[in-house]
Amino acid sequence: MKIHDKEFVKYITSDKISETLKKVALQINKDYKEKNPLFVSILNGSFIVAADLFREITLESEISFVKVASYHDMESSGDVKKLIGLNEPIFNRDVILIEDIVDSGRTIKKMTEEFKELGAKSVEVAALLFKPESLLVDLNVKYVGFEIPPLFVVGYGLDYNGLGRNLKDIYQLKP
Active site residues: 103
Burial class, 79, CB count within 10 angstroms (exposed 0-12 / middle 13-18 / buried 19+): exposed
Smallest separation (angstroms) from ligand IMP to the CB of 30: 26
Quick count: other Cβ atoms within 10 Å of Cβ 70?
A: 10
18-77: which residues touch ligand IMP (CB under 6 A)? 45
Quick count: other Cβ atoms within 10 Å of Cβ 57?
A: 18
**With respect to ligand IMP, which residue has the nearer C-beta, 32 or 50?**
50
Residue of 6, 16, 67, 106 that binds ligand IMP (CB under 6 A): 106
Is 157 a binder of Mg ion (CB under 5 A)? no
Burial 29-56 (b: 16+ CB within 10 A, else e): eeebeeeebbbbbbbbbbbbbbebbbee
Binding mask 34-63 for Mg ion (x = CB under 5 A): -----------x------------------
CB 21 within 8 A of CB 52: yes
143-162: which residues touch ligand IMP (CB under 6 A)? 152-154, 158
**With respect to Mg ion, which residue has the nearer C-beta, 28 or 98?**
98
In whole angstroms, what is the distance from residue 107 CA to residue 44 CA?
13
Rg (CA), the chain: 16
With CB under 6 A as the rule, give the number of residues binding ligand IMP: 14
| Residue 114 contact partner, candidates ligand IMP, Mg ion, none, CB within 5 to 8 A by sort of partner | none
| Residue 161 contact partner, candidates Mg ion, ligand IMP, none, CB within 5 to 8 A by sort of partner | none
**With respect to ligand IMP, which residue has the nearer C-beta, 36 or 70?**
70
Give the list of residues 6+ apart from residue 10 with CB closer than 8 angstroms, or none.
1, 169, 170, 171
**With respect to Mg ion, which residue has the nearer C-beta, 45 or 155?**
45
- Binding stretches for Mg ion (CB under 5 A): 45
